[in-house]
Amino acid sequence: MKKFKFDHQAKAWDRYQAFHATNGGIVEFDTGEVMVKNYIHVYDRRMYDDYGIQLVATTDKECPQLYLDKECNEPVKKAWVTHHGMQELAIDWEQNVAVALTGRQYAAKPIYLGSHVHHALAYWSGAGRLPVALGMIKVQTPNPEYRKVLSPIIVNEVVPAIVAIHKMRQKKSSWAEGKYLAKETWLDSSTQEIVADICSESDDWQLGRDLKQIYENGFEYPRTTTKVDYLYTKGEK
């Protein structure tokens, strides 16, 4: 984070019981601390030049290329950080790191902050310092080994069996969206065991929905999920 000049003209006290000024999604303190407030709107996702901080969602076109390593040799594909929905990030262009905007409750270990920044989504203790990783960023990469082992069974045996069951039931009213997520526990299962597991749903309406989901959209294979404190960026914004 860049060193900033505290805005004494706009300072307040009551909300955080500390002298602060609000700038969009960011709150600055007269101590030199900065945090992302506990809730940000779409219009708060932008570049804050005063601090060298950008708030962005992984689905935004403004989201820069991210990397797994500090040397920026391992690029992160957009699909890896947008799988099943966006993630909101704070990018520190002074330190070239990105942190999750999720808050302390999603951290891997307890984090203790002052009461004035207790509900921060991201936090900097001062200029020239790394942001404190309050939460973790999910990186969801394809699992080629799982697909290699299970895809032939699912495509050639499980799907035809499910299609046949669905046609016999033909529940027209069932609603389905997206692909059915294959389970990691199926890796060592037979066709019969997989079909039995799918059909074990006790709720008849849910079973109809699951069968139609597979019939219409097929399967989605599980990914390997890694949670990291930081992702990295290259260069300056």
Rounded to whole angstroms, the Cα distance separating 141 from 81 reads: 9
Where are any strands of DSSP class E within the chain?
Answer: 20-23, 26-29, 34-36, 47-48, 53-57, 66-67, 75-76, 88-92, 97-100, 122-124, 137-142, 180-181, 219-220, 223-228, 231-232
The percent of residues in the chain predicted with pLDDT above 90, rounded, is: 76
Are the CB atoms for 70 and 229 separated by under 8 Å?
Answer: no
Write out pLDDT tens, residues 123-175: 999 999 999 989 999 999 998 888 889 899 999 999 999 999 988 887 665 67
pLDDT for 172 equals: 61
pLDDT score, position 237: 60
Burial class from Cβ neighbours inside 10 Å (0-12, 13-18, 19+) for residue 69 reads exposed
Q: Please state, in angstroms and rounded to a whole number, the distance separating the CA atoms of residues 98 and 18.
A: 27
Determine the Cα–Cα distance for residues 226 and 27; give it in Å rounded to an integer.
30
Token pair for 229: 């404190």
> With a cut of 70, which residues of the chain have pLDDT below it?
171-174, 236-237
pLDDT at residue 174, rounded to an integer: 64
Given this model, what pLDDT does residue 236 score? Answer: 67
**Average pLDDT taken over every residue of the chain:** 92
From first CA to last CA, the distance across the chain in angstroms is 13
Compute and round to an integer the Cα radius of gyration of the chain: 23
pLDDT in the model for residue 168: 87
pLDDT at residue 235, as a whole number: 76
DSSP strands (E only) in 9-151: 20-23, 26-29, 34-36, 47-48, 53-57, 66-67, 75-76, 88-92, 97-100, 122-124, 137-142
Q: Looking at this protein, which amino acid is placed at residue 133?
A: A
Q: What pLDDT does 173 receive?
A: 56
Distance of CA 12 to the CA centre of its chain: 33
